[in-house]
Structure 1
Amino acid sequence: MLMGRVARMYYELGLTHQEIADALGLSRVRVTRLLAEARESGMVEIIVHVEESLFAAEEQALLNRFGLRQAWIAPSVDDPAKASRAMATVGAEALASVIEKDTTVAMGLSTAVAAVVDAFPARPLGARFVPLTGSSSGLANGANPHELTLELARRTDGSAFHLPAPLVAATPQAAESAYADPGVRDVLARAAKASTLIVGIGSTQDSRGLLYGSLSDEERAELHVAGAIGDIGGRFFDATGAAVRGELDSRVVGLDLDHLRAIPHRLAIASGAAKLDAVRTALASGMVNMLVTDSNTVTALLG
């Protein structure tokens, strides 16, 4: 394959773009494009062996402002694909720092967490991964807690537990029936005793969110009237960080906000203007004490 030949000449043999072009009868521009494609396709992976943070000063400012244990910041770029890849890569670094061997990790519903899990390199940790809520219905998308626990267990030679219940039951009575199931009670008890929590942060300003986007117009209106600005693990909260109670909350099957706050290490992965208020409240109220986000979000949080 031409791309592979060009990549080997450049990265293994140390030839310049022009030397490769001369050797293969190509233009220098073509060589440059082939090298870029080799990086984007995953044929070439570059590992930088350095521990220095990309945004050390900003991370320290976040720790000081919100009393966090740790923060990781990805660069904000205009290209959505590159921005997503940057968040996933930095998030994978965060997971490598917080997931310790032979510990229990509780996982929440999140597309942001799913992207990070997908970027997480295999390593033998032997940890236990437990959903903190039931799973959303519909087409599997890799972002349900059950799917996330399975994938992380596979990548770490660990174990995964399944919570046999929906994220949001049809009625409060159906949710109560789910809690009565011994299997559900056992998994939620394990999640409550986890040493680490890994979640995304949803926003009531973003209709694309997995949970908020699946709700009816009536349910969304009720949340807005109640002052909800975001959710973690399916539990909505207001601008003070207090839980938003009501009919919807009584149908959620999973740990409540008090249980989540009791987990020692609480990592959230979230970014973007639509989530700014929810992220700020989650940090200020102590719902989470570690954060993966991007530089634009940090600028707004510190502004």
Structure 2
Amino acid sequence: MKKNSERYEDLILHHPLFCLLDYQSAHQLIGHAMSEFVEAEHIIVVDGDPIDCIYLVISGKAEVIRTVHALGKNRETRIATVKKGDIIGLSSEGFASHTGLRTASVRALTTMHLLKISLYDFLQFLKQPQIRYPNLKKLSEEFLLIQFIRAHHTFQNFSHEKIQTMVKTARNIKISAGTSLYKEGDVADTCYYLLNGEVALLNLKGSSSTVVKINQMFGDAEFLTNIKRKESAYAKVDSEVLIMEAEVVRKLIPIEHSPSLFKKVISRLRRK
């Protein structure tokens, strides 16, 4: 993002959430942005959708709307307006939602110029040592993990609330290079999500190895089954992981009311 970038940084620095950033940091954040133009009436974000990006408003105006159900009818209510310098998805205190889902829709009232920053890129910005927004960073990690599990894991039938519980009860640990997370033959009672660093997976029988990169899940192939680990895992460098435990996940699967769901989860895991 180079064209007219000088005024874009100024918009970032004048936003109350980022008023303590220096110019270089604002420039780095703008570097993650993609320019978008939308026409009037365009729906920019939808109430209830996952928060997967934020938008800096460069020009134009939009309305923030919620649908209210009353007297058997749905009625749209405008609760706020968005203008130049505002950031769709963020308030002066942080994310506009703490669940990972949009709490309102935003519709353009005029032609608008927006800068879109993906949640993944926003998190990479927040991970820089000089950027000190711990709560924003923590929520960004949680939102990304929720979306990862919903899109790629075997829990598509879980509600958003249950996946959110899984993520919020996950343990965050930092491990030194060379630390073993589990060994081939261990009981698979945990699975992991790599936040920082690099982890190696070793299959001694197959004499193969795989490297896990940031924002990938591992240890989930035998998770929730009675099958022992088929690989070992250790940190190649100093790393940070989230650990999700089978005991917590099992409590979220209502076996007595929905045995088919439990069987479906297990069968998917065994097919991996």
TM-score of the pair, normalised by structure 2: 0.28
Structure number having the greater strand percentage: 2
Where relative contact order (Cα < 8 A, 6+ residues apart) is larger, the structure is: 1
Structure number having the greater helix percentage: 1
